[in-house]
Amino acid sequence: MKDLDARMISAHEANDRMALIKLYSEAADGANDLDASCFYLTHAYVFALEAGAPHAQDLHARLKQHGREA
């Protein structure tokens, strides 16, 4: 997880929205519980919305699947 954290920090510093979408999605997939997973998914979703990325639909669907309507 330390490597993922370092990559997230670098992506934030570079304001690389596409990397942030990927990294927060990766964190969601590796989270230990549903709340943590949805926390990361929400961040990925927000970055996807901000970037106008097509990932937003899939991320929103995942959040809805877990009862987190955005």
Residue 38 lies inside a defined structural domain of this protein: yes
pTM: 0.91
Q: Which of 52, 51, 57 is nearest to 41 (CA)?
A: 57
For the beta carbon of residue 10, count every other beta carbon within 10 angstroms.
12
C-alpha span between 39 and 23 (Å, rounded): 13
Residue 70 lies inside a defined structural domain of this protein: no
Q: For residue 61, give every residue at least 6 positions away whose Cβ sits within 8 Å of its Cβ, in sequence order, or none.
A: none
**What's the pLDDT score for residue 2?**
82
Tens digits of residue pLDDT in 11-53: 999 999 999 999 999 999 999 999 999 999 999 999 999 999 9
The whole domain housing 25 covers 2-65
pLDDT tier at 69, thresholds 50, 70, 90 = confident
**What's the pLDDT score for residue 61?**
96
How many domains does one find in the chain? Answer: 1
